[in-house]
Amino acid sequence: MRSSISLGRVGGVPVGLNISVLVIVVILVIGLAYGRFPIAFPGLPTAAYVLAALVSAALFLASLLAHELAHAIVAKRHGIEVTGITLWLLGGVAELRGEPRSPGADLKIAGVGPLTSVVLGGVFALVSWGVSVIGAPPLASGMFGYLAAVNVLLAVFNLVPAAPLDGGRVLRAFLWARWHDRMRAAVAAARAGRVFGYVLIAVGFLNLVSGLGLQGFWLALIGLFLVNAASAEEQQTQIAAALHGITVGEVMSRDPVVAHPGETVAGLVDRLVLRHHLSTYPLQDDDGRFAGLVTLGRIRRVPPEDRAITRLRDIACPPPDVPAARPDDQLTELLQRMSGSTDGRAVVLDDGHLVGLVTPTDISRTIQTVDLRAHEPYRTPRGADLAPPTPGGPTQGPTTGGPGGTAPPSGRRDAA
C-alpha cells in the first residue's frame, strides 16, 4: 500500500495518503451531508451540512493517523524501525520492519492503537458536551458526538481477536506468552483472522440480498481484505520459521558479473547483457568497492538514442539505497531490509568489497529447497528467537491492525 500524496513527517515517520482514501472521504461527506446530519438536525442550509461533513471527514482521517502514530511510536521505543504510515481505502497502515522480541512488547504495540481511539472518543465526547453547554448550534455538537462514537467503534472493531486486526496481535501476544512459541501463536491468530473475514463476507452477502447494498458491500470488502491479509501473514510466518538459521552466505549468488560505473549503457548491453542474459549488474569502482546497482529495468528506461552517452553511474541505484549484508548475517533479517527496496535485490559485502548478490530468484530457490536440508534437523524457533520478516514483501509488514492498526513487515501492516 504505497503513498500517492506525501504529508511530510510526523515524529520522524513519513506519512502519506493513498489515492484510494478519497473514496472514504466521498462516502463520508455524502452520507453525512445528505443523510445523517439533515435527518438529525433538520432545517439548516445544505452548505452547513456539507461543511460539517467535510470537517468530520478530516477529523476522522486525523483520528486514523493518531491511531497509527501510536503504534509507530511504541514500536520505535521497542527498537522496531517504522518506514511509514499510509492512510488508504480501509483505514490506516503503519509499516514496521521487524517484529517484537517478546510477548510484552507485542501486546503494547498492538494495544496502544485501540487505546488511542478510545481516548480520542472520550475527547470528542467532551468537546461535544462543551459545545452544547456554550450554546453552539446542535449540528456542531452532533458532529463531535458522531466522531466520538466512530472512534469508540473503531477501537472495538480492532479488538476483535483476529489477525491482522490489533485484537489479533493481542491474541498472538497472549498465546505466545502461554505457549512460548511465537510461530504457533502467529499462525493461530492468522487463522482466526481468516475465519472472521469469512464471517464478514457472509454477513455482507446477506445484507446485499436484504437490500442493504452499501453496508453489505463494505462488510464484504473488509472481510475479503482480512481473509487475504491473514492468509498471507500465515504463509509468511511459516516461511520465516523455515528460513530461521539460514545465513546470507548460504543463499547468495557468488562472484557476480560486475561493471564499472563509468561504462556506458550501450557498452554494458553489448559486452554483457546480450551475452550473459543476467538481470542484475553491480558496479565496482577502481578500488573494487561497491558503487551502485544496475538492473535490466533501469537499462530499458534509457532511450536507445541515449544509451551511448549515458553512464551506468547515472542510472544506477546508489549504494545507500541498496540493502547490504555480510555473509554470516541471518537471511530473515536481510529479507526485512529488502522488503520494499527499490530494485528488490541486496548485495553481500565483506569489508566494503562485493562478494555476492541476493536476488528474488535466490530467495525463491531457497524457499523451495529448504525442506531438503536434511543435514540439519528442522527446528521451530521459539520465544524471542523468532522475529519473522516478510520474505520478499511487507509483513507484517507491515502489522495489520485492521481498520486502524499496524501492519506486518515489510514489517507489519495494519488496516484501519
Active-site annotation, residues: 68
Q: Environment class of residue 39 by beta-carbon count within 10 Å: exposed (0-12), middle (13-18) or buried (19+)?
A: exposed
Alpha-carbon span 242 to 368, nearest angstrom: 11
Among the listed residues 229, 173, 179, the one whose alpha carbon sits nearest the alpha carbon of residue 200 = 229
Nearest-5° angle of CA 389, CA 393, CA 397?
A: 55
Q: What is the 3-state secondary structure (H, E, C) of 301-359?
A: CCCHHHCCCCEHHHHCECHHHCCEECCCCEHHHHHHHHCCCCCCCEEEEECCEEEEEEC
Q: Pick from 178, 170, 184, 172: which is nearest to 110 by CA?
A: 170
Q: What is the SS3 assignment for 159? A: coil
Quote the radius of gyration of the chain (alpha carbons, Å).
25
**Residue 395 β-bridge partners:** 409
Q: Which three cell numbers stand for residue 304?
A: 536507445
- The count of other CB atoms within 10 Å of the CB of residue 180 is 13
Cα(211)–Cα(217) distance, integer angstroms: 11
Q: Which three cell numbers stand for residue 49?
A: 451540512
Whose cell is 436484504? That residue is: 210
Helix (H) or strand (E) holding 85, with range, is strand 81-88
